């Protein structure tokens, strides 16, 4: 209203009216060569204080320096701050675009508009006919530009994800055009909608994070690869952008993070919940680690929880400890005629700190200078593009074609843990947006030589066949074959398991679709071995645990996929150890008194529970729950060992 009143006053004043007319004439006569000016963007005057802002043309950034250290981020948290018991370290991506196949640059991005209430709405992008889309160099790789940075397709058009998006009424009527933030952090701040949590825990968490600038720097550095995608997806659903900060709490923005409860990825899905939300988990890929699919699943789940509880704080609590836990807490509060607000409920200790930690991150993002924190610049542009692949390709080859270090390629594509990406599984490969053209050119040059893109094929292990004999036959060492198939020490692949072996010169066929659902099981090399779960106690180290159980520290790292040599109290370790020898009962002689049988060997520690070997990571309920596991095999279809 203030902006409209000012304009009305100016038009009624003849002097100002003349000045306004001269100003408009000057704009009309301004030289065109100064800078291409896209469509003007109408901004809510009450929200921004600006009148008309040009939409920025995006320039795609080069890969950021992530600066990862081989230290588990969660290990640096105090006990009260630990969430989801994360026990690994990693980094990752951020948005679903597709690539141009030739020299055409991706279409310029439209920003996020604001309605008169200040609520972000999707803005119309360029018409489909105006979007450059060049055929990929090879028919097996579909590399096309399918979306602009923030643009919603018109009604009936289908975005890259394949879902129909209804036309926004504001967009179709032309009532609002997008406002463009060059800084993604500012875009996030504008989308804050959740009520602030005012509690001592929130204040304590804010102080703790503010005192850890290096930790914040590492997390936000990793976030630069995927945060744009998360924010974009939230705005498409009109969800609060505070939720884009949730992976800071869940996984420290590490897409390869795995908790001891087998929750995985940025959003920490356990296997059963992942399957419930259509995250594919098989021998070749685990979409809980993939940025695009796991983000889609997480937002689906959060929307469902908000619909159930009608409150974002309760929805987040349920995301952490499960719907049943929150429902029980609500029932207890109602029965006692107490408040049913999140901060007043009796919830598990971790859940009581869960929302306060998100509030702490929000506080710092909202006003980093106040807390002495410097956030890295993250451009409001897509970081990556998506390439749809139907041919087998080695991970190393794909990284080489994109001129990427293998670490960065894996950071963008953590769902693929094997050395080959199987085309029959319809994979989507993510690449930095500025590497699209080089990938296409290099792919065309590679294929012109007639070289295969993949050097691995699938093989079913036969009964009686050993890894050492098979490795010798295919020209590898046993260690190389174990590494390619994630077979840890003291284990072997069970007969009938599908493993990878090098292709020979006569085999140019890709892995058949029938292998997508193939099984892979591990069994102990010796029948005298058993698997136990050990809970780390205060003062434990890898060396002390290894000595106690007569195993090597390297084996513990391999069995548990540890990315750090440090342990934290409460961490669960899976150990494969020798079975205790059973003492033979003494023979009773007629002339001697019967002697009592010797007592069973004492358990080494009171918090040790021998559990059978896992055949899958399914069956867990809320994060942190362990399901009983089958006795002879550990299924590696979803394992990342």
145 in Cβ contact with 97 (< 8 Å): yes
* 114, 44 Cβ separation under 8 angstroms: yes
Report the interhelical angle of 323-335 vs 312-321 (nearest 10°).
120
Catalytic pick from 250, 256, 293, 350?
250
Active site includes 280? no
Q: 625 — alpha (psi -120 to 50), left (phi > 0) or beta? A: beta
Chain centre distance of CA 434 = 22
Q: Which residues does 640 contact at the CB level (< 8 Å), separation at least 6?
A: 256, 258, 264, 286, 417, 486, 561
- Long-range contacts from 331-340, C-beta under 8 angstroms, 24+ separation: none
DSSP state letter for 567: -
User: In angstroms, how far is CA 492 from the centroid of its own chain?
Assistant: 30
**H helix count then E strand count, the chain:** 21, 19
Pairing mode, strands 113-114 and 120-121? antiparallel
Q: What are phi and psi for residue 497, nearest 5 degrees?
A: -75, 145
- 327 within 8 A of 304, measured Cβ to Cβ: no
- Helix axis angle for 349-366 and 200-210, nearest 10°, is 60
Secondary structure of residue 586 in the 3-state scheme: coil
Contacts 24+ apart (CB under 8 A), 337-344: 341/313, 342/197, 342/311, 342/313, 342/314, 342/317, 343/197, 343/199, 343/201, 343/313
DSSP E strand boundaries for 56-155: 113-114, 120-121, 123-124, 141-142, 151-152
* 86, 252 contact by CB (below 8 A): yes
Cα–Cα distance between 395 and 400 in angstroms, integer? Answer: 9
Cα distance between residue 393 and residue 376, in whole Å? 34
3-state SS class at 492: strand
Joined tokens for residue 341: 């607000």
Catalytic residues, by residue number, are 250
């Amino acid at each position: 209203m203030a902006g409209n009143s000012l304009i009305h006053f100016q038009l009624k004043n003849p002097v100002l009216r003349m000045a306004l007319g001269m100003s408009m004439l000057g704009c009309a006569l301004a030289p065109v060569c100064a800078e291409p000016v896209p469509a003007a963007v109408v901004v809510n005057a009450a929200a921004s204080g600006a009148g008309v802002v040009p939409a920025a043309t995006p320039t795609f950034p080069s890969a950021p320096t992530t600066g990862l250290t081989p230290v588990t981020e969660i290990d640096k948290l105090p006990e009260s701050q630990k969430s989801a018991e994360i026990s690994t370290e990693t980094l990752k991506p951020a948005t679903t675009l597709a690539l141009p196949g030739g020299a055409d640059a991706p279409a310029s991005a439209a920003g996020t508009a604001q309605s008169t209430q200040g609520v972000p709405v999707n803005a119309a992008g360029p018409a489909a006919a105006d979007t450059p889309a060049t055929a990929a160099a090879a028919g097996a790789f579909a590399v096309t530009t399918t979306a602009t940075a923030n643009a919603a397709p018109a009604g009936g058009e289908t975005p890259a994800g394949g879902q129909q998006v209804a036309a926004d009424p504001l967009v179709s009527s032309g009532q609002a055009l997008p406002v463009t933030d060059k800084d993604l952090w500012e875009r996030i701040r504008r989308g804050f909608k959740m009520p602030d949590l005012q509690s001592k825990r929130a204040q304590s968490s804010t102080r703790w994070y503010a005192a850890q600038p290096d930790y914040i720097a590492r997390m936000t550095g990793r976030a630069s690869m995927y945060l744009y995608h998360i924010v974009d997806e939230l705005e498409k659903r009109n969800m609060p952008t505070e939720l884009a900060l949730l992976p800071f709490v869940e996984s420290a923005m590490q897409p390869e993070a795995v908790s001891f409860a087998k929750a995985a990825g940025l959003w920490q899905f356990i296997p059963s919940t992942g399957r419930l939300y259509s995250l594919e988990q098989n021998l070749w890929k685990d979409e809980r680690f993939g940025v695009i699919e796991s983000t889609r699943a997480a937002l689906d789940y959060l929307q469902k929880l908000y619909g159930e509880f009608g409150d974002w704080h309760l929805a987040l609590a349920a995301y952490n400890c499960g719907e049943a836990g929150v429902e029980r807490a609500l029932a207890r509060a109602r029965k006692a005629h107490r408040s049913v607000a999140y901060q007043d409920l009796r919830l598990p200790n971790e859940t009581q700190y869960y929302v306060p930690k998100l509030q702490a991150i929000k506080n710092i993002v909202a006003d980093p200078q106040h807390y002495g924190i410097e956030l890295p610049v993250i451009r409001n542009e897509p970081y990556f593009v998506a390439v749809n692949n139907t041919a087998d390709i080695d991970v190393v080859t794909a990284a080489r074609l994109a001129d990427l270090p293998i670490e960065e390629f894996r950071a963008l594509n953590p769902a693929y843990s094997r050395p080959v990406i199987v085309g029959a599984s319809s994979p989507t490969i993510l690449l930095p947006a500025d590497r699209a053209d080089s990938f296409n050119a290099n792919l065309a040059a590679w294929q012109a030589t007639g070289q295969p893109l993949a050097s691995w094929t699938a093989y079913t292990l036969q009964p009686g066949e050993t890894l050492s004999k098979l490795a010798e036959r295919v020209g590898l060492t046993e260690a190389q074959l174990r590494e390619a198939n994630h077979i840890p020490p003291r284990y072997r692949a069970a007969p009938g398991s599908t493993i990878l072996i090098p292709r020979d010169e006569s085999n140019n066929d890709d892995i058949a679709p029938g292998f997508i659902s193939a099984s892979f099981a591990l069994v102990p090399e010796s029948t005298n071995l058993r698997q136990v779960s050990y809970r780390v106690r205060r003062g434990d180290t890898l060396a002390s645990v290894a000595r106690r159980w007569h195993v090597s520290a390297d084996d513990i790292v391999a069995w548990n996929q540890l990315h750090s040599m440090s342990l934290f109290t409460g961490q669960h370790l899976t150990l494969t150890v020798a079975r205790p020898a059973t003492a033979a009962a003494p023979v009773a002689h007629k002339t001697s008194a019967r002697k009592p049988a010797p007592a069973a060997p004492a358990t080494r520690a009171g918090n040790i529970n021998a559990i059978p070997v896992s055949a899958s990571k399914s069956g867990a309920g809320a994060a942190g729950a362990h399901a009983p596991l089958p006795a002879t095999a550990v299924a590696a279809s979803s394992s990342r060992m």
